[in-house]
Structure 1
Amino acid sequence: ALGAGAQVSGSLQVLQPQTEVSVSVGKTLTLNCTVLGDKVAGPIKWLKESGGKNETIYDQKSSWPRVTRVVNSSNANYDISISNVQVEDAGTYYCVKFRKGDYRDEVLLSGAGTKVLVYGDPVDVAVSGPAQRVAAGSPARFTCTARGFFPSSIQVQWLKNERPLSVLPPQVTAEGTGSSYAMSSAVQLTLAPADVRTRLSCVVSHATLSAALRSTYNVSAALRVPPTVRLLAKPSSTVEVNKTVNFSCSAEGFYPAAVTLTWLENDEEVLVEAKSPAETAQGTFELQSSLAVQAVAERNQSVIACHVVHDSQRPVSSSVTLHVTLPPAERGPADPSA
């Protein structure tokens, strides 16, 4: 195995003085290697071991992206530098002397190895809400995620309108080869109509950050508040024949604004309100509509209904039965409506 046993073979020595080094993402890393007493034909290579696999990153002939030899002409100094370090560069690096073989080069002597730790900032901090809107009065789950950080220790704070919420510690899992980590933190809230103005923030702190990272979610994106539907008849639903009754229907306190208001007479559609809803001071919406009905005798016992469909949900309706009466002069003594 690379790095096992002594790093001396006869007069040959492969010296890697760095046991462990740490570097931040984006910086340049220099790995030291000195080879002494090299009298054997064959190249010096740098190998990276990560996740149980060895990968050549420098071999004196070809150049790998971001990897350069510090002193090109030296027969002893085989230091290399890796620019713009990424979390994937974490692993153990071996400086290895190979003996030239007939078919392929063979490992003659390996350095002890240098373990490289890459300190990575959390990236892609984001808050997500439920896949579908949740009705006021029901619980909704919100999740904060981040990835690409090292080391694994990370702190997460949730704020509801800038006030801290009590939550469990985040779940942290290794990514890929274990050179970086991802985290997930969840909070559950029972939604209320007032949450149309609520801002939910996830604040992430990590050793690599000079200032915490924040992602904010407008809870209105997850909220549904159903309308209250009111139907009124003026002057009243009992009216003399051939008079006009003005019906007014209001759908109040709903969110989001997606709504359709339809007037029905005896389950037959008579009018679809064309106006758009108006926003209220509370951030919810309201829609008002009116319908004028001539109280002809044939309309006695007609059912006038206001039918509201909000955000593709089940309809909410309110209805009134129209009572058409004869004027006093037309009522005979035996008229039952007298």
Structure 2
Amino acid sequence: MELPGSKPDIHSYGAHKTYQVQSNITVQATIDSYITCKINHTSLEQPIISTFTMNDIVKGEPSLPSVSGPTEQVMFNTNVTLSCTSVGFYPADILVTWWEDDRELHATQPDVRLYEDKTYQVQSNITIPAKIDSLITCTINHTALQQPIHSTFKINVKVRSSPNIFAFSK
């Protein structure tokens, strides 16, 4: 499909009367689409053609991460698994990091999957011991973001109480 461009902007410069031409178009950026620029001129034996894929410039921002974990109270120091999911990003390269308060945690390699619309989804899981008042944060960094985005999860910890023991003496 041929797209109408803007009126070419032509500038003459130099003693040899050479010209510079610039034309701009606005198109809907879609993944896997191609743009071809074709230049015709009477001095050319054949047109100059240049094609590039929109994948080189299209970027889709990942959604705010969603962190899920146990909804009920868990006992102190028992292992819990948290899951972090973000969707709708392009290209596929993404960085997921987990933090407990200000300390980076080590998680397994995230699972990145392609959707039918050619955007991606990432899921990362981490298993950690439940601690009192611990905040666990999933941080997402991607080329389409100005700065990383994150979501935090607080594990509802139950502290095991020991029975009261009373000793009486006579």
After TM superposition, the score normalised by the length of structure 1 is 0.41
Instruction: Give 1:204-223 correspondences, 5 Å limit.
Output: 204-209=39-44, 212-223=47-58
CA RMSD of aligned residues (A): 3.0
- What SS is found at the alignment partner of 1:197? coil
CA deviation string 1:182-219 (max 9, x = no partner): 3111123465xxx2222222222333456543222222
Cα distance 1:294–1:273, how it changes in 2: closer, same or farther (>3 A)?
A: closer
Rounded to whole Å, the distance in 2 between the matches of 1:212 and 1:174 is 21
1:324 aligns with 2:157: yes
Distance 1:242 1:326, change over 3 A: same
Number of positions where the alignment pairs a residue of Structure 1 with one of Structure 2: 161
Q: Distance in 2 between matches of 1:307 and 1:171?
A: 45
Quote the offset at 1:177 in angstroms. 2.8
User: How far apart are the structure 2 equivalents of 1:331 and 1:253?
Assistant: 48
Query: Taking structure 1 as reference, are residues 202 and 238 closer, same or farther at Cα in structure 2, changes over 3 Å only?
Result: farther
- How far apart in 2 are the matches of 1:305 and 1:280? 25
Please name the residue that 2:2 is paired with.
164
Partner of 2:140: 308
Residues 292-307 of structure 1 correspond to what in structure 2 (within 5 A)? 292-295=127-130, 299-307=131-139
Q: Which amino acid aligns with 1:313?
A: Q
1:183 to 21, 41, 46: 21
Rounded to whole Å, the distance in 1 between the matches of 2:56 and 2:37 is 16
State the partner residue of 2:168: none
Identity %: 24
2:85 partner letter:
S
Q: What's 1:270 paired with?
A: 105
Report deviation, 1:251: 2.8
Q: From the CA coordinates, give the structure whose radius of gyration is larger.
A: 1
Map of 1:197 onto structure 2: 32
Matches within 5 A, 1:148-163: 163=1
Shift of 1:244: 2.9
Q: Deviations over 1:239-263 (max 9, x none)?
A: 2345432111123222233322111
TM-score (norm 2): 0.75
Q: Secondary structure at the match of 1:220?
A: helix
Give, in whole Å, the separation in 1 of the partners of 2:103 and 2:5.
52
Distance 2:107 2:125 in 1: 10
Question: Does the aligned pair in 2 maintain the 1:204–1:214 contact within 8 Å?
Answer: yes
CA-to-partner distance for each residue in 1:258-302, whole Å, 9 max, x for gaps? 32211111221112554574444433333321111223xxx1221
Give the Cα–Cα distance (whole angstroms) in 2 for the partners of residues 276 and 248 of structure 1.
Answer: 11
- Counterparts of 1:247 and 1:276, CA distance in 2: 14
What is the SS of the residue equivalent to 1:196? coil
Higher RCO structure, 1 or 2 (CA under 8 Å, sep 6+): 2
Q: If each structure's strand is expressed as a fraction of its own residues, which one has the higher value?
A: 1
Q: Distance in 1 between matches of 2:90 and 2:72?
A: 31
SS at match of 1:167: coil
Shift in alpha-carbon separation, 1:275–1:240, aligned structure 2, 3 A: closer
Separation in 2, partners of 1:230, 1:274: 17
Consecutive unaligned residues of structure 2, counting only runs of 5 or more, are 164-170
Is 1:273–1:289's contact at 8 Å kept on the other side of the alignment?
A: yes
Where does 1:1-338 land on structure 2 (aligned, <5 Å)?
Answer: 163-189=1-27, 191=29, 195-209=30-44, 212-228=47-63, 229-233=65-69, 235-236=70-71, 238-271=73-106, 274-275=109-110, 277-295=112-130, 299-311=131-143, 313-326=146-159
Structure 2 Cα separation of the partners of residues 198 and 237 of structure 1: 47
